[in-house]
Protein backbone atom coordinates (compact mmCIF):
# COMPACT_ATOMS: atom_id res chain seq x y z
CA UNK A 1 0.00 0.00 0.00
CA UNK A 2 2.76 2.47 0.88
CA UNK A 3 4.29 2.08 -2.55
CA UNK A 4 1.08 3.11 -4.24
CA UNK A 5 0.66 6.14 -2.05
CA UNK A 6 4.13 7.45 -2.77
CA UNK A 7 3.79 6.98 -6.50
CA UNK A 8 0.60 8.98 -6.48
CA UNK A 9 2.20 11.77 -4.42
CA UNK A 10 5.05 12.13 -6.92
CA UNK A 11 2.55 12.63 -9.74
CA UNK A 12 0.85 15.42 -7.82
CA UNK A 13 4.14 17.21 -7.18
CA UNK A 14 4.97 17.02 -10.87
CA UNK A 15 1.62 18.58 -11.74
CA UNK A 16 2.20 21.43 -9.28
CA UNK A 17 5.58 22.09 -10.87
CA UNK A 18 3.96 22.46 -14.25
CA UNK A 19 1.38 24.88 -12.90
CA UNK A 20 4.03 26.97 -11.11
CA UNK A 21 5.81 27.88 -14.32
CA UNK A 22 2.63 28.49 -16.29
CA UNK A 23 2.28 32.16 -17.51
CA UNK A 24 0.21 34.46 -15.27
CA UNK A 25 0.00 31.99 -12.58
CA UNK A 26 1.13 34.58 -10.06
CA UNK A 27 1.88 38.03 -11.61
CA UNK A 28 3.37 39.56 -8.45
CA UNK A 29 6.02 36.94 -7.93
CA UNK A 30 6.82 36.42 -11.57
CA UNK A 31 7.34 40.09 -12.45
CA UNK A 32 11.04 39.86 -13.15
CA UNK A 33 10.62 37.04 -15.53
CA UNK A 34 7.35 38.24 -16.96
CA UNK A 35 8.54 40.00 -20.05
CA UNK A 36 10.60 37.31 -21.66
CA UNK A 37 8.13 34.74 -20.60
CA UNK A 38 5.33 36.40 -22.46
CA UNK A 39 7.19 35.82 -25.68
CA UNK A 40 7.15 32.12 -25.21
CA UNK A 41 4.12 29.96 -25.90
CA UNK A 42 3.17 27.88 -22.94
CA UNK A 43 3.56 24.76 -24.95
CA UNK A 44 7.27 25.36 -25.40
CA UNK A 45 8.06 24.99 -21.75
CA UNK A 46 10.53 22.13 -21.86
CA UNK A 47 9.64 19.14 -19.77
CA UNK A 48 13.20 18.98 -18.61
CA UNK A 49 12.68 22.13 -16.56
CA UNK A 50 10.24 20.24 -14.23
CA UNK A 51 12.32 19.07 -11.23
CA UNK A 52 12.23 15.36 -10.71
CA UNK A 53 11.20 14.50 -7.16
CA UNK A 54 12.44 11.02 -6.27
CA UNK A 55 10.11 8.57 -4.46
CA UNK A 56 11.41 8.66 -0.87
CA UNK A 57 10.03 5.17 -0.01
CA UNK A 58 10.38 1.95 -1.97
CA UNK A 59 7.30 -0.10 -2.90
CA UNK A 60 5.93 -2.29 -0.06
CA UNK A 61 7.32 -5.74 -0.47
CA UNK A 62 7.18 -6.62 3.25
CA UNK A 63 4.57 -9.14 4.24
CA UNK A 64 2.54 -8.52 7.39
CA UNK A 65 3.99 -9.64 10.67
CA UNK A 66 1.49 -12.14 12.08
CA UNK A 67 1.37 -13.59 15.59
CA UNK A 68 -0.98 -16.45 16.56
CA UNK A 69 -1.75 -17.55 20.11
CA UNK A 70 -4.21 -20.23 21.21
CA UNK A 71 -6.19 -20.14 24.45
CA UNK A 72 -5.10 -23.73 25.14
CA UNK A 73 -3.12 -26.51 23.55
CA UNK A 74 -6.11 -28.86 23.88
CA UNK A 75 -9.85 -28.57 23.50
CA UNK A 76 -12.56 -30.94 24.64
CA UNK A 77 -15.77 -29.95 22.85
CA UNK A 78 -18.05 -32.31 24.78
CA UNK A 79 -20.24 -29.76 26.53
CA UNK A 80 -18.89 -30.38 30.02
CA UNK A 81 -17.96 -26.73 30.45
CA UNK A 82 -14.21 -27.35 30.58
CA UNK A 83 -12.15 -26.37 27.50
CA UNK A 84 -15.21 -26.75 25.29
CA UNK A 85 -14.02 -23.97 22.93
CA UNK A 86 -10.78 -22.59 21.55
CA UNK A 87 -9.96 -18.90 21.15
CA UNK A 88 -7.49 -18.11 18.35
CA UNK A 89 -5.89 -14.67 18.80
CA UNK A 90 -4.28 -13.28 15.64
CA UNK A 91 -2.13 -10.14 15.76
CA UNK A 92 -1.19 -8.22 12.55
CA UNK A 93 1.01 -5.14 12.28
CA UNK A 94 -0.72 -3.50 9.32
CA UNK A 95 -3.99 -3.38 7.46
CA UNK A 96 -4.65 -6.79 6.00
CA UNK A 97 -7.34 -9.26 5.10
CA UNK A 98 -7.38 -12.28 7.34
CA UNK A 99 -8.43 -15.89 6.72
CA UNK A 100 -8.38 -18.49 9.49
CA UNK A 101 -9.40 -22.11 8.96
CA UNK A 102 -9.41 -25.11 11.28
CA UNK A 103 -9.15 -28.44 9.49
CA UNK A 104 -8.73 -32.08 10.28
CA UNK A 105 -5.67 -33.27 8.34
CA UNK A 106 -6.63 -36.91 8.79
CA UNK A 107 -10.38 -37.32 8.75
CA UNK A 108 -11.27 -34.25 6.66
CA UNK A 109 -13.66 -31.44 7.53
CA UNK A 110 -13.00 -27.76 8.15
CA UNK A 111 -14.33 -24.63 9.81
CA UNK A 112 -13.65 -21.10 8.55
CA UNK A 113 -13.22 -18.78 11.51
CA UNK A 114 -12.49 -15.82 9.19
CA UNK A 115 -12.59 -15.45 5.42
CA UNK A 116 -10.88 -12.42 3.81
CA UNK A 117 -11.82 -10.41 6.88
CA UNK A 118 -10.52 -6.79 6.69
CA UNK A 119 -8.37 -6.26 9.76
CA UNK A 120 -6.60 -3.22 11.19
CA UNK A 121 -3.26 -3.43 13.00
CA UNK A 122 -3.90 -5.11 16.35
CA UNK A 123 -5.38 -8.34 17.64
CA UNK A 124 -8.45 -10.24 16.49
CA UNK A 125 -10.00 -13.00 18.66
CA UNK A 126 -11.76 -15.83 16.86
CA UNK A 127 -13.63 -18.63 18.59
CA UNK A 128 -13.83 -22.24 17.45
CA UNK A 129 -16.59 -24.32 19.07
CA UNK A 130 -15.01 -27.64 18.13
CA UNK A 131 -17.21 -28.42 15.13
CA UNK A 132 -16.12 -29.08 11.55
CA UNK A 133 -18.08 -29.06 8.30
CA UNK A 134 -17.73 -32.29 6.40
CA UNK A 135 -17.57 -32.83 2.66
CA UNK A 136 -21.34 -33.33 2.43
CA UNK A 137 -21.98 -29.96 4.11
CA UNK A 138 -23.07 -31.30 7.49
CA UNK A 139 -21.42 -30.23 10.75
CA UNK A 140 -20.10 -32.54 13.43
CA UNK A 141 -17.90 -32.35 16.50
CA UNK A 142 -14.27 -32.77 15.51
CA UNK A 143 -12.86 -36.21 16.15
CA UNK A 144 -10.12 -36.80 18.66
CA UNK A 145 -6.67 -35.94 17.32
CA UNK A 146 -4.66 -32.94 16.15
CA UNK A 147 -6.39 -30.24 14.10
CA UNK A 148 -4.44 -27.83 11.89
CA UNK A 149 -5.15 -24.09 12.07
CA UNK A 150 -4.18 -22.18 8.90
CA UNK A 151 -3.83 -18.42 9.33
CA UNK A 152 -3.29 -16.22 6.25
CA UNK A 153 -2.89 -12.43 6.27
CA UNK A 154 -2.67 -10.48 2.98
CA UNK A 155 -1.72 -6.79 3.04
CA UNK A 156 -2.91 -4.18 0.53
CA UNK A 157 0.15 -4.77 -1.64
CA UNK A 158 -0.84 -8.47 -1.69
CA UNK A 159 2.12 -9.49 0.41
CA UNK A 160 1.03 -12.66 2.19
CA UNK A 161 2.00 -14.27 5.48
CA UNK A 162 0.81 -17.73 6.46
CA UNK A 163 1.14 -19.26 9.89
CA UNK A 164 0.20 -22.84 10.76
CA UNK A 165 -0.71 -23.88 14.29
CA UNK A 166 -2.33 -26.98 15.68
CA UNK A 167 -4.62 -27.86 18.54
CA UNK A 168 -5.36 -31.23 20.08
CA UNK A 169 -8.97 -32.40 20.38
CA UNK A 170 -9.64 -34.84 23.22
CA UNK A 171 -13.12 -35.68 24.43
CA UNK A 172 -12.14 -38.96 26.09
CA UNK A 173 -12.20 -39.25 29.85
CA UNK A 174 -9.16 -40.90 31.43
CA UNK A 175 -9.37 -44.62 32.04
CA UNK A 176 -9.58 -45.19 35.76
CA UNK A 177 -9.54 -48.41 37.76
CA UNK A 178 -10.28 -47.99 41.41
CA UNK A 179 -8.58 -50.36 43.80
CA UNK A 180 -9.35 -50.85 47.46
CA UNK A 181 -9.22 -48.37 50.27
CA UNK A 182 -6.79 -49.41 52.98
CA UNK A 183 -6.91 -50.05 55.81
CA UNK A 184 -10.50 -51.30 55.66
CA UNK A 185 -12.24 -50.88 58.05
CA UNK A 186 -10.45 -47.66 58.97
CA UNK A 187 -10.31 -46.47 62.56
CA UNK A 188 -10.12 -42.79 61.71
CA UNK A 189 -6.52 -42.67 63.00
CA UNK A 190 -3.52 -42.35 60.72
CA UNK A 191 -3.65 -42.21 56.95
CA UNK A 192 -6.30 -43.61 54.66
CA UNK A 193 -4.87 -44.81 51.34
CA UNK A 194 -6.82 -45.01 48.10
CA UNK A 195 -5.32 -47.17 45.35
CA UNK A 196 -6.04 -46.78 41.63
CA UNK A 197 -4.54 -46.83 38.16
CA UNK A 198 -5.20 -44.39 35.35
CA UNK A 199 -4.09 -43.49 31.85
CA UNK A 200 -4.86 -40.83 29.24
CA UNK A 201 -3.08 -39.34 26.22
CA UNK A 202 -3.67 -35.72 27.31
CA UNK A 203 -1.17 -35.14 30.06
CA UNK A 204 -0.47 -33.97 32.67
CA UNK A 205 -3.22 -35.57 34.74
CA UNK A 206 -4.52 -34.06 37.93
CA UNK A 207 -5.94 -36.39 40.55
CA UNK A 208 -7.51 -36.11 43.96
CA UNK A 209 -9.59 -38.15 46.36
CA UNK A 210 -12.79 -37.45 48.23
CA UNK A 211 -14.78 -39.06 51.01
CA UNK A 212 -18.56 -39.06 50.77
CA UNK A 213 -21.35 -40.19 53.01
CA UNK A 214 -24.91 -40.55 51.73
CA UNK A 215 -23.78 -38.79 48.55
CA UNK A 216 -22.43 -35.77 50.42
CA UNK A 217 -18.75 -34.80 50.14
CA UNK A 218 -17.24 -34.66 53.62
CA UNK A 219 -13.63 -33.97 52.73
CA UNK A 220 -11.31 -33.76 49.74
CA UNK A 221 -7.57 -34.21 49.37
CA UNK A 222 -5.47 -31.55 47.62
CA UNK A 223 -5.12 -32.07 43.84
CA UNK A 224 -1.95 -33.87 42.80
CA UNK A 225 -0.42 -33.48 39.30
CA UNK A 226 0.77 -36.99 38.47
CA UNK A 227 1.76 -39.06 35.43
CA UNK A 228 -0.60 -41.74 34.12
CA UNK A 229 0.24 -44.86 36.06
CA UNK A 230 -0.66 -46.85 39.13
CA UNK A 231 -1.03 -44.67 42.16
CA UNK A 232 -2.05 -44.42 45.71
CA UNK A 233 -3.00 -41.27 47.54
CA UNK A 234 -2.67 -41.32 51.30
CA UNK A 235 -4.42 -38.65 53.30
CA UNK A 236 -6.49 -38.08 56.39
CA UNK A 237 -10.13 -37.33 55.69
CA UNK A 238 -11.37 -35.58 58.78
CA UNK A 239 -14.62 -33.91 57.78
CA UNK A 240 -13.10 -30.58 58.79
CA UNK A 241 -11.19 -31.64 61.90
CA UNK A 242 -13.94 -33.95 63.18
CA UNK A 243 -13.07 -37.62 63.46
CA UNK A 244 -15.40 -39.43 61.08
CA UNK A 245 -18.24 -41.15 62.92
CA UNK A 246 -18.55 -44.94 62.77
CA UNK A 247 -20.41 -46.07 59.68
CA UNK A 248 -20.27 -46.49 55.92
CA UNK A 249 -18.47 -44.13 53.53
CA UNK A 250 -17.41 -43.91 49.92
CA UNK A 251 -13.81 -43.30 48.93
CA UNK A 252 -13.77 -41.62 45.53
CA UNK A 253 -10.89 -40.99 43.14
CA UNK A 254 -11.17 -38.19 40.58
CA UNK A 255 -8.79 -37.89 37.60
CA UNK A 256 -8.87 -34.97 35.15
CA UNK A 257 -6.77 -34.86 31.98
CA UNK A 258 -5.18 -31.77 30.45
CA UNK A 259 -8.23 -31.35 28.18
CA UNK A 260 -10.50 -31.12 31.20
CA UNK A 261 -12.10 -34.57 30.79
CA UNK A 262 -12.89 -36.10 34.17
CA UNK A 263 -13.32 -39.66 35.46
CA UNK A 264 -14.42 -40.64 38.95
CA UNK A 265 -14.82 -44.00 40.67
CA UNK A 266 -15.64 -44.86 44.22
CA UNK A 267 -15.52 -47.83 46.55
CA UNK A 268 -17.27 -48.21 49.88
CA UNK A 269 -15.34 -48.41 53.12
CA UNK A 270 -16.21 -48.58 56.79
CA UNK A 271 -15.09 -46.56 59.74
CA UNK A 272 -14.97 -48.83 62.79
CA UNK A 273 -13.27 -48.34 66.15
CA UNK A 274 -13.62 -49.40 69.74
CA UNK A 275 -16.20 -47.33 71.61
CA UNK A 276 -18.17 -47.40 74.81
CA UNK A 277 -21.65 -48.48 73.80
CA UNK A 278 -24.63 -46.46 74.92
CA UNK A 279 -27.94 -48.15 75.72
CA UNK A 280 -31.01 -46.39 74.37
CA UNK A 281 -34.68 -47.33 74.60
CA UNK A 282 -36.06 -43.91 73.74
CA UNK A 283 -34.51 -40.59 72.79
CA UNK A 284 -35.15 -37.35 74.66
CA UNK A 285 -35.27 -34.21 72.57
CA UNK A 286 -36.35 -36.04 69.40
CA UNK A 287 -39.36 -33.78 68.95
CA UNK A 288 -42.20 -35.56 67.13
CA UNK A 289 -39.93 -38.21 65.61
CA UNK A 290 -40.48 -41.87 66.46
CA UNK A 291 -38.24 -44.72 65.30
CA UNK A 292 -39.70 -47.80 63.66
CA UNK A 293 -37.37 -50.77 64.20
CA UNK A 294 -38.01 -54.13 62.56
CA UNK A 295 -36.22 -57.29 63.73
CA UNK A 296 -35.10 -60.70 62.53
CA UNK A 297 -35.76 -60.79 58.74
CA UNK A 298 -36.56 -64.52 58.73
CA UNK A 299 -39.72 -64.02 56.62
CA UNK A 300 -38.65 -62.94 53.16
CA UNK A 301 -42.07 -61.88 51.86
CA UNK A 302 -42.91 -59.87 54.99
CA UNK A 303 -39.49 -58.21 54.92
CA UNK A 304 -39.90 -57.33 51.26
CA UNK A 305 -43.46 -56.07 51.74
CA UNK A 306 -42.40 -53.81 54.61
CA UNK A 307 -39.69 -52.26 52.43
CA UNK A 308 -42.25 -51.54 49.73
CA UNK A 309 -44.62 -49.93 52.26
CA UNK A 310 -41.87 -47.74 53.73
CA UNK A 311 -40.74 -46.70 50.28
CA UNK A 312 -44.26 -45.94 49.05
CA UNK A 313 -45.10 -43.86 52.12
CA UNK A 314 -41.61 -42.26 52.30
CA UNK A 315 -41.26 -43.34 55.92
CA UNK A 316 -38.05 -44.26 57.71
CA UNK A 317 -37.20 -47.44 59.64
CA UNK A 318 -34.20 -49.46 60.81
CA UNK A 319 -33.95 -53.22 60.20
CA UNK A 320 -32.10 -55.47 62.67
CA UNK A 321 -31.53 -58.68 60.73
CA UNK A 322 -29.79 -61.88 61.80
CA UNK A 323 -26.76 -62.55 59.65
CA UNK A 324 -28.03 -65.90 58.35
CA UNK A 325 -31.08 -64.20 56.78
CA UNK A 326 -28.97 -61.40 55.32
CA UNK A 327 -27.07 -64.09 53.42
CA UNK A 328 -30.11 -66.23 52.59
CA UNK A 329 -32.23 -63.33 51.31
CA UNK A 330 -29.37 -61.35 49.81
CA UNK A 331 -31.52 -59.57 47.22
CA UNK A 332 -33.85 -58.20 49.89
CA UNK A 333 -30.83 -57.27 51.99
CA UNK A 334 -29.42 -55.23 49.12
CA UNK A 335 -32.81 -53.65 48.53
CA UNK A 336 -32.95 -52.70 52.21
CA UNK A 337 -29.65 -50.86 51.94
CA UNK A 338 -30.76 -49.16 48.73
CA UNK A 339 -34.11 -47.90 50.04
CA UNK A 340 -34.24 -44.22 50.98
CA UNK A 341 -34.58 -43.49 54.70
CA UNK A 342 -34.16 -47.17 55.58
CA UNK A 343 -31.10 -48.10 57.65
CA UNK A 344 -29.71 -51.26 59.20
CA UNK A 345 -28.35 -52.45 62.54
CA UNK A 346 -26.99 -55.78 63.77
CA UNK A 347 -29.10 -58.48 65.38
CA UNK A 348 -26.09 -60.86 65.49
CA UNK A 349 -25.86 -64.32 63.96
CA UNK A 350 -28.05 -67.07 65.38
CA UNK A 351 -30.44 -65.17 67.70
CA UNK A 352 -29.00 -66.57 70.91
CA UNK A 353 -29.33 -64.80 74.26
CA UNK A 354 -25.91 -63.12 74.40
CA UNK A 355 -26.01 -62.88 78.19
CA UNK A 356 -25.70 -66.66 78.28
CA UNK A 357 -22.53 -66.88 76.18
CA UNK A 358 -18.91 -65.75 76.65
CA UNK A 359 -17.52 -62.37 75.64
CA UNK A 360 -15.70 -64.03 72.75
CA UNK A 361 -18.84 -65.81 71.57
CA UNK A 362 -20.92 -62.62 71.75
CA UNK A 363 -18.27 -60.68 69.82
CA UNK A 364 -18.02 -63.46 67.23
CA UNK A 365 -21.81 -63.38 66.63
CA UNK A 366 -21.79 -59.58 66.30
CA UNK A 367 -18.90 -59.61 63.82
CA UNK A 368 -20.54 -62.46 61.90
CA UNK A 369 -23.57 -60.28 61.19
CA UNK A 370 -21.29 -57.40 60.33
CA UNK A 371 -19.46 -59.62 57.81
CA UNK A 372 -22.75 -60.80 56.29
CA UNK A 373 -23.84 -57.23 55.53
CA UNK A 374 -20.44 -56.32 54.13
CA UNK A 375 -20.21 -59.42 51.95
CA UNK A 376 -23.74 -59.20 50.61
CA UNK A 377 -24.37 -55.49 50.31
CA UNK A 378 -21.11 -53.64 51.07
CA UNK A 379 -22.93 -52.14 54.03
CA UNK A 380 -22.32 -52.00 57.76
CA UNK A 381 -24.85 -52.32 60.59
CA UNK A 382 -22.56 -50.26 62.84
CA UNK A 383 -23.13 -48.26 64.97
CA UNK A 384 -26.46 -49.92 65.90
CA UNK A 385 -26.80 -53.25 67.71
CA UNK A 386 -29.95 -54.86 69.01
CA UNK A 387 -29.13 -57.89 71.13
CA UNK A 388 -31.64 -60.72 70.61
CA UNK A 389 -34.48 -60.54 73.19
CA UNK A 390 -33.02 -57.23 74.33
CA UNK A 391 -30.85 -59.32 76.61
CA UNK A 392 -27.42 -58.11 77.71
CA UNK A 393 -24.93 -57.98 80.56
CA UNK A 394 -21.67 -56.10 81.03
CA UNK A 395 -19.76 -58.52 78.84
CA UNK A 396 -22.29 -58.09 76.03
CA UNK A 397 -21.98 -54.32 76.29
CA UNK A 398 -18.17 -54.59 76.25
CA UNK A 399 -18.33 -56.80 73.16
CA UNK A 400 -20.70 -54.32 71.51
CA UNK A 401 -18.21 -51.48 72.13
CA UNK A 402 -15.35 -53.60 70.79
CA UNK A 403 -17.34 -54.29 67.60
CA UNK A 404 -18.00 -50.56 66.93
CA UNK A 405 -21.61 -50.56 68.08
CA UNK A 406 -21.88 -47.17 69.69
CA UNK A 407 -25.59 -47.76 70.38
CA UNK A 408 -27.14 -50.82 71.98
CA UNK A 409 -30.70 -50.22 70.87
CA UNK A 410 -33.62 -51.40 73.01
CA UNK A 411 -37.21 -50.05 72.79
CA UNK A 412 -39.99 -48.44 74.75
CA UNK A 413 -42.95 -49.55 72.60
CA UNK A 414 -43.42 -53.31 72.21
CA UNK A 415 -46.75 -54.37 70.66
CA UNK A 416 -45.71 -58.04 71.10
CA UNK A 417 -46.54 -58.66 67.47
CA UNK A 418 -45.04 -62.18 67.81
CA UNK A 419 -47.95 -62.98 70.15
CA UNK A 420 -50.88 -62.14 67.86
CA UNK A 421 -52.03 -62.87 64.33
CA UNK A 422 -54.34 -59.85 64.25
CA UNK A 423 -52.96 -56.75 62.50
CA UNK A 424 -55.54 -54.59 64.33
CA UNK A 425 -54.13 -55.64 67.68
CA UNK A 426 -50.60 -54.71 66.58
CA UNK A 427 -51.83 -51.32 65.36
CA UNK A 428 -53.67 -50.44 68.56
CA UNK A 429 -50.78 -51.55 70.78
CA UNK A 430 -48.32 -49.39 68.83
CA UNK A 431 -50.55 -46.34 68.90
CA UNK A 432 -51.28 -46.64 72.61
CA UNK A 433 -47.58 -46.46 73.47
CA UNK A 434 -45.92 -44.23 70.87
CA UNK A 435 -44.82 -40.69 71.72
CA UNK A 436 -42.11 -38.34 70.48
CA UNK A 437 -38.70 -40.03 70.87
CA UNK A 438 -40.14 -43.58 71.07
CA UNK A 439 -38.42 -46.63 69.65
CA UNK A 440 -41.07 -49.06 68.39
CA UNK A 441 -40.22 -52.77 68.15
CA UNK A 442 -41.72 -54.72 65.25
CA UNK A 443 -40.82 -58.03 63.57
CA UNK A 444 -40.81 -59.24 59.97
CA UNK A 445 -44.07 -61.14 60.40
CA UNK A 446 -46.85 -61.25 57.78
CA UNK A 447 -49.49 -59.65 60.07
CA UNK A 448 -47.10 -56.88 61.05
CA UNK A 449 -46.30 -56.28 57.38
CA UNK A 450 -50.07 -56.00 56.84
CA UNK A 451 -50.36 -53.51 59.70
CA UNK A 452 -47.40 -51.33 58.74
CA UNK A 453 -49.18 -48.94 56.40
CA UNK A 454 -51.90 -48.18 58.96
CA UNK A 455 -49.28 -47.81 61.71
CA UNK A 456 -47.41 -45.21 59.65
CA UNK A 457 -50.56 -43.32 58.64
CA UNK A 458 -51.94 -43.36 62.20
CA UNK A 459 -48.66 -42.12 63.70
CA UNK A 460 -48.68 -39.31 61.17
CA UNK A 461 -52.31 -38.51 61.97
CA UNK A 462 -51.14 -37.94 65.56
CA UNK A 463 -48.42 -35.58 64.37
CA UNK A 464 -45.63 -38.13 64.82
CA UNK A 465 -42.96 -38.72 62.15
CA UNK A 466 -41.87 -42.35 61.66
CA UNK A 467 -38.12 -42.41 61.01
CA UNK A 468 -35.09 -44.70 61.25
CA UNK A 469 -32.51 -44.47 64.03
CA UNK A 470 -30.12 -42.09 62.24
CA UNK A 471 -32.95 -39.59 61.92
CA UNK A 472 -34.18 -40.18 65.48
CA UNK A 473 -30.69 -39.58 66.89
CA UNK A 474 -29.82 -36.81 64.43
Write out the residues near Zn ion by the rule CB under 5 A.
Answer: 295-296, 388
Q: Min. distance of Cβ 293 from Zn ion in angstroms?
A: 10
Report the residue number whose CB is nearest to Zn ion. 295
Is 146:70 a contact under the CB 8 Å cutoff?
A: no
CA distance linking residue 28 with residue 20, whole number of Å: 13
Backbone torsions φ then ψ of 14, nearest 5 degrees: -60, -40
Q: Is 327 helix (H, G, I), strand (E, B) or coil?
A: helix
Q: How many angstroms separate the CA atoms of 252 and 209, rounded?
A: 6
CA distances from 391 to 106, 283, 385, 387, 394 (A): 75, 19, 12, 6, 11
**CA distance linking residue 102 with residue 168, whole number of Å:** 11
Question: To the nearest whole angstrom, how small is the minimum distance from the Cβ of residue 175 to Zn ion?
Answer: 47
At closest approach, how far in Å is the CB of 385 from Zn ion?
12
| Cβ–Cβ under 8 Å, residues 244 and 188 | yes
Nearer to Zn ion, 177 or 279 (CB): 279
Which CA distances in Å does 299 have to 86, 326, 446, 474?
Answer: 62, 11, 8, 30
Residue 285 C-beta: closest distance to Zn ion, Å: 28
d(C-alpha 147, C-alpha 103), whole Å: 6
Instruction: Name the residue nearer to Zn ion (CB basis): 66 or 321.
Output: 321
295 or 412: whose CB is closer to Zn ion?
295
CB of 446 to Zn ion, least distance (A): 16
CB of 351 to Zn ion, least distance (A): 6
Measured over the CA atoms of residue 20, residue 24, residue 26 and residue 30, the dihedral's sign is positive
Least distance (Å) from Zn ion to the CB of residue 390? 9
CA separation (Å) from 252 to 208, 263, 269? 8, 10, 10
Q: Which residue from 88, 146, 141, 142 is spatially nearest to 117, judged by alpha carbons?
A: 88
Compare residues 165 and 324 and give the one whose CB is closer to Zn ion: 324
CB of 152 or CB of 417, closer to Zn ion: 417
How deeply is 101 buried, as exposed, middle or buried, from its count of CB atoms within 10 A (0-12, 13-18, 19+)? middle
SS3 at position 112: strand
Nearer to Zn ion, 228 or 332 (CB): 332
> Whole-number minimum distance, CB 180 to Zn ion, in Å?
33
Supply the minimum distance, in Å, between the C-beta of residue 460 and Zn ion.
27
Nearest to Zn ion of 169, 291 (CB atom): 291
Is residue 40 classed exposed, middle or buried when 0-12, 13-18 and 19+ CB atoms within 10 A define those classes?
exposed
Looking at the Cβ atoms of 94 and 412, the one nearer to Zn ion is: 412
H/E element, 139: strand 139-141
Task: Considering the complex, state which of residue 77 and residue 387 has its C-beta at the smaller distance from Zn ion.
Answer: 387
Amino acid sequence: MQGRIWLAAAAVVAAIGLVAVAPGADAGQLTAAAEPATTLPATTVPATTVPEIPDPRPPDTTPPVVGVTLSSALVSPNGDGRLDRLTVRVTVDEDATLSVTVRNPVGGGHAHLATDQPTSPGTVSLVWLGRLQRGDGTWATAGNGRMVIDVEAVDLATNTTTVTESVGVDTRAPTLRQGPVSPEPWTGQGALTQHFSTSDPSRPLTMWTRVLRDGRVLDQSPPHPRPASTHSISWHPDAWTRTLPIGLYEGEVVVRDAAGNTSRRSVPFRVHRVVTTQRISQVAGAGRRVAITIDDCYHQAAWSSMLSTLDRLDAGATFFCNGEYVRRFADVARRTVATDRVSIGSHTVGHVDLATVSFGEALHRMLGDEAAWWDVARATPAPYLRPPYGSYDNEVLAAAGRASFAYTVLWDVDPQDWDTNDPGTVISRVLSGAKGGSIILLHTKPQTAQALETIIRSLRARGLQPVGLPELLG
